[in-house]
Amino acid sequence: MDNNEVKEEIFETSTPLPYFPREDTVTVIDLCSSDDSDVEENADRFEDSGSAYPNYNSGNPTGAKRARDSAFGGSSEVDTNHAKKLNVDELAVVLPEGSGQSIPPADGTHAIPADPCNVFRPTPPQPPPSSRTGSCKQFWKAGDYEGVSDGNWDITSGGLDHVRVHPKFLHSNATSHKWALGAFAELFDNAFDEVASGATYVNVDMLENKKAGNRMLLIEDNGGGMGPDKMRQCMSLGYSAKSKLANTIGQYGNGFKTSTMRLGADVIVFSRCPGKDGKSSTQSIGLLSYTFLRSTGKEDIVVPMLDYERRDSEWSKLGRSSLSDWDKNVKTIVQWSPFSSEEDLLRQFDLINDRGTRIIIYNLWEDDQGMLELDFDSDPHDIQLRGVNRDEKSIKMASQFPNSRHFLTYKHSLRSYVSILYLRIPPGFRIILRGTDVEHHNVVNDMMQTEQITYRPQYGVDTYSKDSDMSAVVVIGFVKDAKHHVDVQGFNVYHKNRLIKPFWRIWNAAGSDGRGVIGVLEANFVEPAHDKQGFERTTVLSRLESRLVQMQKLYWTTNCHKIGYAPRRYKPGSGSGYGYKESSPDPDGSDPSGMKTRASDKYYSSSYPNYNGSNAGSGKDGSLSLQEELRREKERSKALEAEVISARELIEEMTKEKNNLIELFAEERDRRDGEEECLRNKLEEASNTIDELLNKIKTLEGSKGPSWRR
């Protein structure tokens, strides 16, 4: 047994670090191997033989020992004749060399190359130095490590080779969330989907980590909870039963991992499930710790788990393998979690009541200045972001223009973002953020002079639609603060009640055109991307985008004068129908809104009060009048040149739109021609096949004719 000691770089605790012998097996979720029936058979064998542990609150150690011994084959040292210890091959998991112990070998075989995130430094009182990789507190740098390479690719699952999932994948997978509040949205979605199981609230709060002296993030709901199998699916990659259920948001089986790893390095989950009949209640604990995997140099994702089941009025431990595996899971979770003992872990279930899930994210990521990405201090009832998403000017404007508040603050304020995250909230469902309910908000209430337009997508021959009658009702109008000429515009695009594109700005005009126009629609006919912060780029989405641009331009052209902008003249012969030109509402060329109008509009309507044709060119007055006229002509020429440039830019924009449409039509035509050619070939092949069959039938009839006559 090695005598190495390991420096604990995350939590300061007087509890000595546990040592796990290498020959012990490990109960893990192998995120890279396929299911193996042998594992289920072994697990069933334990459960059938009474593998439940005694009540963890039992005050009778002797009786507890007997019950535990009985659960594992009659003695505390597991009898191999009754409860065979599962080895690596039987578990069908991938365990790199040295993964059965928390202290790497001292022979230097697990040397870690230097990297910018290696903040671990062995101290003189702890020889020999550990080769574990230290923690990195900045999210965008946390993937810069190599791990411990054991070079063992010979382990198979049920005789089949399979790929392995390195812990770095947890980090790279989470980088899909460029925006941290988008990661919160995934966790809200999971709680929102639990409404079907009776959830009435989701609560997000900040907790103090007494063990490490830092802050943690809490997300909890009182939904149906997760049983042992569902908990393992939650911790695994790609499992999602929601994609087959109606009215649920989740569909990829990836949101929990990406969102939690984006917010912090580690997450521990407590979940209590009443079971199908309400009598077979279970509760489970799962630890997904990037710090643990990184610091111990794991090359596979190891997830310690603990399960309990309710028997009568008492909770008993639910073993899936051996007693030593259970103890090892307990020690690993206690060592790498914010909790100091198994009893401390179990106290979390007292806060769940009879059902629900409690998620605690800790070792939250920091920015380059060493401060938490999440700001808990600016508002005691909110969680905000620091850095580029926070604009002090926008925050000040939000107090001045309340109807534009969500547009100005959603990028940095979780409360603002969550209030518009869902188009509809079920009656009685509460979203609680740091002790205060989030008030649901519909952006339509911030609009005036609204119009409704029904948009029906046009599907090409290459596009598959589950519902060809799908449509979207677009509500478009001016924000109520538009008369102040605030640069607020964009469309809130929802998918199945969930906001995917907040204030999607699709018309980027050079001047003030388009300001103040906002819209809301629910587009269930386009598919969201994996991070649910955008849509997959498809032909259907491109058509929707083009149509929304047209809607905004037409609405602006028709109504901009109502909020103080110079009216635009509609040109019926402009091809696209959106050619327009500013004109001044006043004879002197001034705009009542205080905004500058085009110089050409001014000079088109101006007269020359100092010019008099009767005395032009005669005397001093005539000379001055002629000079004034020449000066004005020069200014008019400059104004015309500026307008020509603007017209050219407009023509270029229209040309780009036309080319895009031409490309779309050409692409559809090519695909249609390809399909027609393919169908012709298939038809010809089918015809040839029919002819061949008919010839064979005739041949057979001819060969069998004499025998029939006999």
Give me the residue spans of the domains in the chain.
167-395
pLDDT at 240 over 50: yes
Residue closest to 335 by CA, chosen among 376, 296, 391, 392: 296
Report percent pLDDT > 70 for the chain.
Answer: 64
Predicted pLDDT at 635:
81
CATH, domain range 167-395: 3.30.565
Distances (CA, A) of 14 to 28, 211, 241, 324, 513: 27, 10, 43, 24, 65
Q: How many residues does the chain have?
A: 710
What is the spatial distance between Cα 509 and Cα 505, in angstroms, rounded to a whole number?
10
Band of pLDDT at residue 540, cut at 50, 70 and 90: very high
Higher pLDDT, 319 or 134: 319
DSSP notation for 263-284: HEEEEEEEEEE--SSSSS-EEE
Taking all residues of the chain, what is their mean pLDDT, rounded to a whole number? 74
End-to-end CA distance of the chain: 92
Element (H, E) at 706: helix 619-709
Instruction: Say which amino acid occupies 581.
Output: K
Residue 245 corresponds to which tokens in the numbers above? Answer: 């259920």
Predicted pLDDT at 672:
85
Residue closest to 231 by CA, chosen among 256, 204, 208: 256
Higher pLDDT, 684 or 64: 684
SS3 (DSSP) at 183: helix
Band of pLDDT at residue 239, cut at 50, 70 and 90: low
What is the spatial distance between Cα 165 and Cα 33, in angstroms, rounded to a whole number?
9
In the predicted model, what is the mean pLDDT of residues 65-79?
40
Residue closest to 122 by CA, chosen among 291, 5, 290: 5
Predicted pLDDT at 592:
35
Predicted pLDDT at 195:
93
Predicted pLDDT at 154:
53
Among the residue ranges 163-177, 206-220, 532-546, 655-669, the one predicted with the least confidence is: 163-177
Distances (CA, A) of 151 to 24, 95, 243, 257, 486: 21, 11, 37, 27, 60
Predicted pLDDT at 643:
83
Among the residue ranges 190-194, 408-412, 513-517, 600-604, the one predicted with the least confidence is: 600-604
What is the spatial distance between Cα 413 and Cα 296, in angstroms, rounded to a whole number?
36
Band of pLDDT at residue 14, cut at 50, 70 and 90: very low
Backbone angles phi, psi at 463, to 5 degrees: -105, 130
3-state helix, strand, coil in the chain (%, to 5): 35, 15, 45
In the predicted model, what is the mean pLDDT of residues 510-538?
90
Report percent pLDDT > 90 for the chain.
Answer: 39
Predicted pLDDT at 481:
94
Predicted pLDDT at 313:
81
Predicted pLDDT at 269:
96
Residue 573 corresponds to which tokens in the numbers above? Answer: 């012969």
What is the spatial distance between Cα 531 and Cα 652, in angstroms, rounded to a whole number?
34
In the predicted model, what is the mean pLDDT of residues 373-391?
93
Q: Tell me: the pLDDT tens digits for 109-151?
A: 333 333 334 333 333 333 333 334 455 776 656 666 555 555 5
Q: Tell me: the pLDDT tens digits for 444-478?
A: 999 999 999 999 987 655 555 555 568 999 999 99
Q: What angle do CA 146, 151, 155 make, to 5 degrees?
A: 125
Q: Tell me: the pLDDT tens digits for 640-654?
A: 888 888 888 888 888
Write down the number of H helices and E strands in the chain.
Answer: 16, 17
- For residue 436, count CB atoms less than 10 angstroms from its CB and return exposed for 0-12, middle for 13-18, buried for 19 or more: exposed
Predicted pLDDT at 174:
73
Cβ partners under 8 Å of residue 674, min gap 6: none
Sort strands 430-433 and 201-209 into parallel, antiparallel or unpaired: parallel
What is the spatial distance between Cα 425 and Cα 419, in angstroms, rounded to a whole number?
10
Predicted pLDDT at 381:
97
Strands (E), 99-239: 201-209, 214-221
pLDDT at 242 over 60: no
User: In 10 A of CB 522, how many CB atoms?
Assistant: 20
Residues 360, 267: contact at Cβ < 8 Å? yes
Element (H, E) at 118: none
User: Which residues pair with residue 314 across a beta bridge?
Assistant: 311
Distances (CA, A) of 195 to 200, 223, 422, 464: 7, 7, 14, 30
Q: Tell me: the pLDDT tens digits for 252-288?
A: 456 788 889 889 999 999 999 997 776 789 999 999 9
Among the residue ranges 168-182, 430-444, 470-484, the one predicted with the least confidence is: 168-182
Predicted pLDDT at 101:
39
Predicted pLDDT at 383:
97
User: In 10 A of CB 538, how many CB atoms?
Assistant: 15
pLDDT at 437 over 90: yes
Residue 106 corresponds to which tokens in the numbers above? Answer: 């001292």
This prediction's pTM: 0.63
Higher pLDDT, 639 or 386: 386
User: In 10 A of CB 650, how many CB atoms?
Assistant: 18
For 664-681, give one letter per residue: b (16+ CB within 10 A) or e: eeeebeeeeeeeeeeeee
Q: Please report, to the nearest 10 degrees, the dihedral formed by the alpha carbons of residues 606, 607, 609, 613 taken in order.
A: 150
Residues 357, 379: contact at Cβ < 8 Å? no
pLDDT at 305 over 70: yes
Band of pLDDT at residue 162, cut at 50, 70 and 90: low
Sort strands 201-209 and 305-311 into parallel, antiparallel or unpaired: unpaired
Higher pLDDT, 439 or 621: 439
In the predicted model, what is the mean pLDDT of residues 191-203?
94
Residue 271 corresponds to which tokens in the numbers above? Answer: 């979940």
Side-chain half-sphere CA neighbours of 409 within 13 A: 23
Predicted pLDDT at 201:
97
pLDDT at 224 over 70: yes
Q: Tell me: the pLDDT tens digits for 15-58?
A: 343 333 333 344 445 444 334 433 334 434 334 433 333 344 43
In the predicted model, what is the mean pLDDT of residues 542-568?
92
